[in-house]
Amino acid sequence: MKFNTKVIHGGQHHDPSTGAVMPPVYQTSTFVQTSPGQPINPDYEYSRAANPTRTALENALASIENGTRGLAFSSGLAATDCVLRSFKAGDEIIAMDDLYGGTYRMFTRIYKDSGIKFHFVDMNNLEKFKSLINENTKLVWVETPTNPLMKLADIQEVAKITKENKILFAVDNTFATPYLQKPLDLGADIVMHSATKYLGGHSDVIAGALIVKDEALGEQLHFQQFATGATLGPMDSFLVLRGIKTLHLRVERHCENGGKVVEFLNNHPKVKTVYYPGLPSHPYHEIAKKQMSGYGGMVSFTFVSGKKEDAIDFLEKLKVFTLAESLGGVESLANHPALMTHASIPEDKRKEIGITDDLVRLSVGIEDATDLIEDLKQALA
């Protein structure tokens, strides 16, 4: 199947008992057994282990990422946490230097205390990256594009190195979505999504996902999910599955509107730097052209003045864009990373990687692009 068909039909089946086109919401915690240890359906005993609505979503996730196993979690951070539970004290993890604030917080304030050593590095400096690898290195964690500076990593090149050294390689594909980028096809072992964002697409659910190609790894991660309990409920599974069915249409419009917003911002006298992988001036534009089929709807920018006050004034004046955390919904959102999504990263670390106090991040929605640009124009005036 082509992608546009997969999002609707991939891994999906009509309900066998009623013929329902959409999987029902199986709002149940447990399933009847005819004799001890003999459930009517061997796949379902207790909903923490498996639920038919969640299974439908997980099959769709595996299909759109070209994986063998999908797992749905209560949040993107729960999905990340499940991966990290595979490691123990003394193990080392190499991560991209520009990460979502919640991921950085988990790595440095939760798992660092358990004895796992973390290295943060610019993944485009492959020699520096390779110099950090040793016999204790167990995982490489990459976001591409990153949140909020839109840095990229060459997935194929990183995958070559991890395979040579027999290290697991995980990619956070939240910003690109499987419509624009397929990390498993490029050599990654694990794909993570904050399904709250583009997969759900309507700002009405918190969810996470993992997708893998190796069946044994999928079984291991499922056991860790089952044993620790961070599963996605049936109603939330239904909402994400419904969102996936329009993913291709929404992301096309996100890309279209994103490009128009970038063109406006890039020519505005008050805007200093626009961070967007579709710009030829973007330092990793060639990587984006190589591994992405489009450039998405996430845009960040700074002000010529460099003043935090100008960023806040701009954000307070927006009328169509909504000032709120999160991203990837049908509505356009605006965010101040230093005060909002990345506030948990120490100030000196933010400055080191380029998250300045005048940086604004936009999640460009699917409204009429003219209205979005007019809103930006009046807020910048």
Read off the tokens for 318: 């927006």
Cβ–Cβ under 8 Å, residues 350 and 147: no
Return d(Cα 249, Cα 70) in angstroms, integer.
Answer: 22
Helix/strand/coil percent split, the chain, to 5: 40, 15, 45
| Rounded distance between C-alpha atoms, residue 346 and residue 340, angstroms | 13
For the annotated catalytic residues, the residue numbers are 48, 100, 172, 197
Say whether 254 sits in a helix, a strand or coil.
helix
- The Cα–Cα gap between 62 and 65 comes to 5
Asked if residues 150 and 276 have their Cβ atoms less than 8 Å apart, the reply is yes
DSSP 8-state secondary structure symbol assigned to residue 293: S
Report the C-alpha gap between 379 and 359 in whole angstroms.
15
What are the DSSP calls for 61-87, one per residue? Answer: HHHHTT-SEEEEESSHHHHHHHHHTT-
The angle at the Cα of 1, spanning 203 to 57, to the nearest 5 degrees, equals: 35
State the Cα–Cα distance between residues 261 and 372, nearest whole angstrom.
Answer: 8
In terms of Cβ atoms closer than 10 Å to its own Cβ (0-12, 13-18, 19+), residue 77 is buried
Q: Output DSSP code: residue 364.
A: -
Q: Of 87, 298, 354, 356, whose CA–CA distance to 173 is shortest?
A: 298
Angle at the Cα of 302 from the Cα atoms of 351 and 357, rounded to 5 degrees: 40
The burial of 88, by beta-carbon neighbours within 10 Å (0-12 exposed, 13-18 middle, 19 or more buried), is given as exposed
- Among candidate residues 195, 189, 192, 179, the one with its CA nearest the CA of residue 232: 195
How many C-beta atoms lie closer than 10 Å to residue 245's C-beta?
15
